[in-house]
Amino acid sequence: MKQTELYLKKEEQAIFSLRALFEQYGYRKFKMSKFEEYDFYADNRSFLHSENILTFTGLDGKLLALKPDVTLSIVKNAKGERKEPERVYYNENVYRARKGAGEYKEIMQVGLEYIGEVDSYATLEVLLLAQKSLQAISGDYILDVSHMGFVAGLMEATELPLARQKRILDSISEKNAHTIRHICQEAAVSEDMTKRLEALAGLYGSLEETLPQAKALCCNERMEQAIKELEEILRCLKIVGNEKRIHLDFSIVNDMDYYNGIIFQGFIHGVPSGILSGGRYDHLVRKLGKDADAIGFAVYLDLLERFDSAEKEYDVDTLLLYEDGADTAALAAAAQMLTDNGQSVLVQRENTGNIKYKQLLCMKDRGLEIIAE
């Protein structure tokens, strides 16, 4: 590990490695302003994960919002050319109210978007980059993949009214098979369909092992199409990726008004919630008036704060004290010598006892003395 990396926090290291990774694949950086007009977010409220938006009045009296999301702004500014896909990445703070936190939080996000014609290569590239991003943070990761077409296809087949479908979707996201059964009984859904829905909620495991089980649940063309896409991804991942760490999980459900196709969510062992989230969102691009497809993901780096919990044994390598009458230049020279040797050093008058150090030096008027090691 390089000397500088030693002093970086986990989330700071992650930013460096992810940026390098994205640049390697030809993504260019997108820097956005801190705020957008509020109306823009209000129009696309359900795309945002949180209802709450921090607003204030701009100098010209317009209502502005501190950005709760970056994807929307990128899509708004994209040209939306099918032939010439745009690959962008960002590293921005967004402002959201995390559930239970009771206040707005500044959340550091790194992510990328691919806007253009999304073919199977583009899907694979983004999925692989998501996998590599997780790998860069920790080797013990899992990337869950789902397909909106599959879930939506099964919902269609139930022929239930939308409000009931919504309740079933909520239960799917909780892997809550018993409530699905309950709702189906209420609505007189056939036993066969109920079993399919229950199975969908319970399905979890590596793509290889679970795809055949998912295939058995198909009951219309939309679902079959989704399975075909997933099978193609599995085939490619076996050649270029690590398919064992990619799991199938239909319980990741995102808003159907915006997302379609493949969606995914990444987890790291030791972090209690999803750290990466993304997917295909053609509907959003169309809604913002562009004729293109899009796929992308974001990594929530604020969640790494706790992950990096190994407490440091020392605050500094060397605590360098000095007495009255010590030569200032000699003191600075001593500090410089230590840092040149790659040590960290803290220079102060007295040892207050609050600092953990490896060695204690003292600059006296007759020179440098080692007091403790």
Partner 1 sequence: MQNKINIALPKGRLGEKVYDIFEKIGYGCPAIHEGGRKLIFENEENGVRYFWVKPSDVAVYVERGAADIGVVGKDILLEQSSDVYELLDLGMGKCRMAVAGVKGERPDFAHTLRVATKFPNIAREYYRKQSREIDIIKLHGSIEIAPILKMSDVIVDIVETGTTLKENNLEVLEEIVPISARLIANKASYKFNTQRIRQMCDKIAVICEKND
Q: What angle do CA 281, 286, 291 make, to 5 degrees?
A: 105
CB 241, CB 143: distance < 8 Å: no
Under DSSP, is residue 71 helix (H, G, I), strand (E, B) or coil?
A: helix
β-pair type (246-248, 141-147): parallel
138 binds partner 1 (CB under 8 A): no
Strands (E), the chain: 28-29, 35-37, 55-57, 63-66, 86-97, 104-116, 141-147, 205-206, 246-248, 262-268, 276-280, 293-300, 316-322, 345-348, 357-364, 367-372
What is the smallest separation between the CB atom of 270 and partner 1, expressed in angstroms? 8
Q: Which of 2, 178, 312, 366 binds partner 1 (CB under 8 A)?
A: 178
179 binds partner 1 (CB under 8 A): yes
Q: Which of 176, 194, 254, 260 binds partner 1 (CB under 8 A)?
A: 176
84 binds partner 1 (CB under 8 A): no
Q: How many residues bind partner 1 (CB under 8 A)?
A: 21
Nearer to partner 1, 158 or 176 (CB): 176
Task: Please tell me the distance from the alpha carbon of residue 197 to that of residue 164, in angstroms, as a whole number.
Answer: 13
Stretch that binds partner 1, among 172-180, 188-196, 212-220, 362-370 (CB under 8 A): 172-180
Task: Please tell me the distance from the alpha carbon of residue 228 to that of residue 232, in angstroms, as a whole number.
Answer: 6
* Residue indicated by tokens 């239909």: 250
CB 297, CB 88: distance < 8 Å: no
Nearer to partner 1, 91 or 176 (CB): 176
Nearer to partner 1, 144 or 282 (CB): 144
Contacts to partner 1 from residues 205-224, by CB under 8 A: 205
364 binds partner 1 (CB under 8 A): no
Nearer to partner 1, 96 or 247 (CB): 247
Contacts to partner 1 from residues 265-294, by CB under 8 A: 267-269, 271-274
Q: Which two tokens mark 195?
A: 């079993």
Nearer to partner 1, 297 or 307 (CB): 307
Q: Spell out, one character per residue from 310 to 329, where the chain touches partner 1: x when CB under 8 A holds, - when not.
A: --------------------
99 binds partner 1 (CB under 8 A): yes
Stretch that binds partner 1, among 45-53, 232-240, 262-270, 365-373 (CB under 8 A): 262-270
242 binds partner 1 (CB under 8 A): no
Stretch that binds partner 1, among 3-11, 64-72, 120-128, 245-253 (CB under 8 A): 245-253
Residue 56: how many CB atoms within 10 A of its CB?
10
Nearer to partner 1, 58 or 205 (CB): 205
Q: Which two tokens mark 8?
A: 């970086």
166 binds partner 1 (CB under 8 A): no
CB 182, CB 170: distance < 8 Å: no
140 binds partner 1 (CB under 8 A): yes
Nearer to partner 1, 44 or 277 (CB): 277
What is the smallest separation between the CB atom of 258 and partner 1, expressed in angstroms? 20
Closest residue by Cα to residue 262 from 214, 218, 227, 304: 227
Task: Please tell me the distance from the alpha carbon of residue 122 to that of residue 31, in angstroms, as a whole number.
Answer: 23
Residue type, 332: A
Closest residue by Cα to residue 128 from 190, 216, 120: 120
Nearer to partner 1, 57 or 273 (CB): 273
The residues that touch partner 1, with contacts defined as CB under 8 A, are 99, 140, 142, 144, 174-176, 178-179, 204-205, 247, 249, 251, 267-269, 271-274
